Chains A and B, each alone.
Chain A
Amino acid sequence: MTEDMLLAATDLTRSYGRIRAVDGVQLQVGRGETLGLLGLNGAGKSTTLQILAGALNADRGKVSICGHDLAGDGRAARRLIGYLPQTPPLYDDMKVAEYLNFIARIQGVPRSGLSDTVQRATARCGLSDVVGRLIRHLSQGYQQRVGIAQAVLHEPAVLLLDEPTNGLDPAQIRDVRELITSLAPQRATIVSTHILSEVRMLATRIVIMHEGRVVHDAPNGSALDTLRVSFAHQPQVEALTAIDGVVAAEWHEQGYWLLRCDEDCSPRVAECAVRAGWGIAEMIKNYDALEHLFLRLTAGDSVVAAA
């Protein structure tokens, strides 16, 4: 494990009765990297995050946080983890400052630094105006912020966020995304979600899980070359697939072609269109590429893409 590889998980396996929720998952996340963990509901994302956070024991496999084995050196490893479960872990009868103080003490923040630590986290998460309010009186958006504040309070090296924008309105979603982006550079971050646009915006690497397994693990935007193109004069599908690099061409009723390419084929498509006089009306690179990949992989067509 290199110095900048902050989280490494090998062969994680976890079953619930006969159902295998997580099956041989391998993950590595380095400093400054934000891994977007995608999958359908029940794909094993939350179970994986629980195992990585130490909240649930795996049946098999190993998790290492900055070189500390989560099973053997659990307390040292957990000190380095900030974890936001799917439902924010809150004592709603506490005030925001009281709750963050409680978490800071549990995380082992020295008494002398408690006040500064809580102040820094509340300022960073936009909670300064509500520190004296009871958590149960806060809106869902603010409760989510408190959840994120407890996760980043002790400056963890590894940040695990399970559906951090769950149930938020668009303005709150934008704020939370900005917050995650601002926190990411010094840490290894994993964001679990089933919102594709969120992953596209936040992640440097995308992992797709399906039925407990990793079916795709590659940098954001790589190996996903697609081209959405509209023509004034529609060509035949054979003419499109004959272009060098175009693997498949699908016609969409909305009036565009979606070309799947094995590399960036936009210059050749443009050249061909000009020569044949099809008249390009629109050309967008990688349009819906992630959606197509996601749907293809989670429909059972398991293609493991190498990073």
Chain B
Amino acid sequence: MMSGFGAVAAYETARLFRRPFGWLVLAFGQGLLALYFLLLVVRFLENQGDLQTTGVTVEIIMRYFSVAFVSVILLTPLLTMAAIAGDKRSNMLRFLYATPLSTSALVLGKFAGVLSLSMAHVVLLSLIPLTLLWGAPIDLGVYATNVIGLVLFSLMHNALGLMASALTRAPVAGALIALMISLLLWFAEWGARLDPEASMIGRWSTLTRLRGFAEGLLVSADIVYFFAATISLLIITAVLVSMDRDLA
């Protein structure tokens, strides 16, 4: 049923790790987040004088992860943009239609490939705050929910990036489409705040859905939201790829 999935996933992973661009994106994200983490620690020490006090989790961990979420919005489109658009541009996608590879194997293989580098980003980001374990009483529960939130948020944004990549032959356009949709979903909560009658929009906002994870709560509705969004976006991607078979 999923013959070829492994081959596509392995190729996509190798493509991302083989080219310097993926490494540059990863290094840039890690560098910025590490610097931000350092600034948070320095500011905390300037205000409190000691890491062995309460407030480390709120002032460092929670603030750090709020920026980590934004880094996913900004960097994921750069990793996913060429996944399908690049194959469309080189006519490789049309050739793949002539093979026994199913659309689901193709889309899931691409998804697994782009996830490999994104998850490397998430894992490394999540390891940085653990350095506080050497000298500060951090709340590991809050830390864990933030990591879970980050993983789910990243899953959804990889699926979104893949869908945007399936919409165009130009990878840069794919990245811009993904970024615009991500920002719309992020800022939807602000729109709801401006107009109380539009509270429904706020429920669709990723910012609203991340609040629980950021504050140390695991809300099942939020978990379902991210899983449902990821699956829906993958299904839309598969439909877009299938429709492409009808187009010139």
A interface list, Cβ under 8 A from B? 16, 50, 53-57, 75, 78-79, 81, 83, 85, 87, 89-91, 93-94, 102-103, 105-108
Residue of A16, A81, A93 near B248 (CB, 8 A) is: A16
Cβ of B15: which chain A residues have Cβ within 8 Å of it? 91, 93
The answer on a CB contact under 8 Å between B100 and A106 is: yes
The answer on a CB contact under 8 Å between A79 and B100 is: yes
Nearest 5 pairs of A and B residues by beta carbon: A89-B95, A105-B7, A53-B98, A55-B98, A106-B4
Identify 19 new A-B residue pairs, CB closer than 8 A, beyond the known A83-B98, A102-B7: A55-B97, A55-B245, A56-B94, A56-B246, A75-B100, A78-B99, A85-B91, A89-B92, A89-B95, A89-B96, A93-B18, A94-B11, A102-B10, A103-B99, A105-B6, A105-B7, A106-B7, A106-B101, A108-B4
A-B contact list, 17 entries, CB within 8 Å: A50-B98, A53-B98, A54-B97, A55-B98, A56-B245, A56-B248, A75-B102, A91-B15, A91-B92, A93-B19, A102-B7, A102-B10, A105-B4, A105-B7, A106-B99, A107-B99, A108-B3
A146 to B41: give the CA distance in the assembly, Å: 56
A102 to B101: give the CA distance in the assembly, Å: 12
A108 to B233: give the CA distance in the assembly, Å: 28
Number of A-B contacts (CB under 8 A): 65
Residue of B91, B101, B248 near A89 (CB, 8 A) is: B91
* Chain B 183-225 per-residue mask, 1 if CB under 8 angstroms from chain A, else 0: 0000000000000000000000000000000000000000000
Cβ of A106: which chain B residues have Cβ within 8 Å of it? 3-4, 7-8, 96, 99-101
User: Chain B residue with minimal CB distance to A58?
Assistant: B246
CB distance from B227 to the nearest CB of A (A): 29
Cβ of B245: which chain A residues have Cβ within 8 Å of it? 55-57
B interface list, Cβ under 8 A from A? 3-4, 6-8, 10-11, 14-15, 18-19, 90-92, 94-102, 245-246, 248
CB distance from A81 to the nearest CB of B (A): 6
Cβ of A75: which chain B residues have Cβ within 8 Å of it? 100, 102
A241 to B96: give the CA distance in the assembly, Å: 56
The answer on a CB contact under 8 Å between A81 and B18 is: no
CB distance from B74 to the nearest CB of A (A): 25
Cβ of A93: which chain B residues have Cβ within 8 Å of it? 15, 18-19
A90 to B246: give the CA distance in the assembly, Å: 22
User: Chain A residue with minimal CB distance to B105?
Assistant: A106
CB distance from B11 to the nearest CB of A (A): 6
CB distance from A47 to the nearest CB of B (A): 8
The answer on a CB contact under 8 Å between A107 and B95 is: no
CB distance from B6 to the nearest CB of A (A): 7
CB distance from B108 to the nearest CB of A (A): 14
The answer on a CB contact under 8 Å between A91 and B98 is: no
A56 to B7: give the CA distance in the assembly, Å: 23
CB distance from B17 to the nearest CB of A (A): 11
CB distance from A75 to the nearest CB of B (A): 5
